[in-house]
Amino acid sequence: MEYDRFAEIYGVWTDTAVSAQANLGFYRDAYTSASGVVAELGIGDGRIAIEAARLGRNIVGVDLSPVMLERCRERAREAGVLERLTLLQGDFRGFTLPEPAALISLPYHSLGHLTTLDAKREAVRHVFSQLAPGGRFIFDDFQMTPTRLESFRQVQLRASFPAPDGTERLLWVTSLVDAGAQTMRVVTWEDALDGNGVLQERRYRPLSLSWLTPVQAQALLEDAGFTIEACYGDFSRAPFGEDAPEQVWVARKGTIS
Whether the per-residue pLDDT at 256 is higher than 80: the answer is no
Give 255's pLDDT tier (boundaries 50, 70, 90): confident
Instruction: Please tell me whether residues 179 and 156 are part of one structural domain.
Output: yes
Are residues 171 and 159 in contact, defined by beta-carbon separation less than 8 angstroms? yes
Q: Using one digit for the tens of pLDDT, what is the confidence trace for 230-244? A: 999 999 999 999 889
Q: Which pLDDT belongs to residue 126?
A: 98
Instruction: Please tell me whether residues 177 and 225 are part of one structural domain.
Output: no
Instruction: Please tell me whether residues 185 and 112 are part of one structural domain.
Output: no
* Amino acid present at 128: F
Q: Which residues pair with 67 in a beta bridge?
A: none
Distance CA(211)–CA(42), nearest Å, equals: 16
Looking at the 3D structure of the chain, how many domains does it have?
2
Instruction: Please tell me whether residues 49 and 87 are part of one structural domain.
Output: yes
Q: Which pLDDT belongs to residue 257?
A: 61
Q: What pTM, to 2 d.p., does this model score?
A: 0.96
Q: Which pLDDT belongs to residue 30?
A: 98
Q: Using one digit for the tens of pLDDT, what is the confidence trace for 45-93? A: 999 999 999 999 999 999 999 999 999 999 999 999 999 999 999 999 9
Q: Which pLDDT belongs to residue 183?
A: 98
Instruction: Please tell me whether residues 24 and 63 are part of one structural domain.
Output: yes
Q: Which H helix or E strand runs over 17?
A: none
* Amino acid present at 250: V
Whether the per-residue pLDDT at 171 is higher than 70: the answer is yes
Tell me what the mean pLDDT of segment 137-154 comes to.
96
Instruction: Please tell me whether residues 230 and 137 are part of one structural domain.
Output: yes
Instruction: Please tell me whether residues 52 and 156 are part of one structural domain.
Output: no
Whether the per-residue pLDDT at 167 is higher than 90: the answer is no
Instruction: Please tell me whether residues 24 and 112 are part of one structural domain.
Output: yes
Instruction: Please tell me whether residues 26 and 41 are part of one structural domain.
Output: yes
Instruction: Please tell me whether residues 158 and 59 are part of one structural domain.
Output: no
Length of the chain counted residue by residue: 257
Q: Residue 118: how many CB atoms within 10 A of its CB? A: 8
Instruction: Please tell me whether residues 93 and 176 are part of one structural domain.
Output: no
**In 34-65, which residue ranges form alpha helices assigned H by DSSP?**
49-54
Instruction: Please tell me whether residues 104 and 176 are part of one structural domain.
Output: no
Tell me, yes or no, whether 257 lies in a domain: no
Read off the CATH number of the domain in which 113 is found.
Answer: 3.40.50.150
Average pLDDT, the chain: 95
Tell me, yes or no, whether 45 lies in a domain: yes
Give 195's pLDDT tier (boundaries 50, 70, 90): confident
Residue 182 belongs to what domain range?
146-210
Q: Helix 117-129 crosses helix 214-224 at what angle (to 10 degrees)?
A: 40
Q: Which H helix or E strand runs over 149?
A: helix 146-153
Percent of the chain with pLDDT over 90: 87
